[in-house]
Structure 1
Amino acid sequence: MGIFSRLAEERIEEAVRSGELDNLAYAGKKLPIDDLAHIPEDLRMSYRMLKNAGYVPEEVSLRKECVRLHDLLTACRNEGEQAELKRKLSEKELRLRMLLEERGLSGSSAFFQYEDKVRDQLTGSGKAEQE
Structure 2
Amino acid sequence: MASIHDLLAERRIADALRRGEFEHLPGEGKPLVFDETLFVSPEQRMAGKVLRNAGFSPPEIGLRKEIARLRAELAGLAEGEQRAASRRRLAMLIVQLGEMRR
**Aligned match of 1:73:** 74
**Aligned match of 1:60:** 61
The TM-score with structure 2 as length reference comes to: 0.58
Q: Distance in 2 between matches of 1:70 and 1:39?
A: 30
**Aligned match of 1:125:** none
**Aligned match of 1:119:** none
SS at structure 2 position matched to 1:55: coil
**Aligned match of 1:38:** 36
**Aligned match of 1:85:** 86
Equivalent positions of 1:1-131 (< 5 A) are 37-40=35-38, 42=41, 43-101=44-102
Q: Which runs of 5+ in 1 are unaligned?
A: 1-35, 102-131
Q: Which runs of 5+ in 2 are unaligned?
A: 1-33
Count of aligned pairs between the two proteins: 66
The one-letter amino acid of 1:64's match is K
Structure of larger gyration radius: 2
TM-superposed CA distance for 1:81, in Å, is 1.4
TM-superposed CA distance for 1:37, in Å, is 3.2
Identity within the alignment, %:
29
The TM-score with structure 1 as length reference comes to: 0.46
TM-superposed CA distance for 1:60, in Å, is 0.5
RMSD: 1.8
TM-superposed CA distance for 1:68, in Å, is 0.4
**Aligned match of 2:14:** none
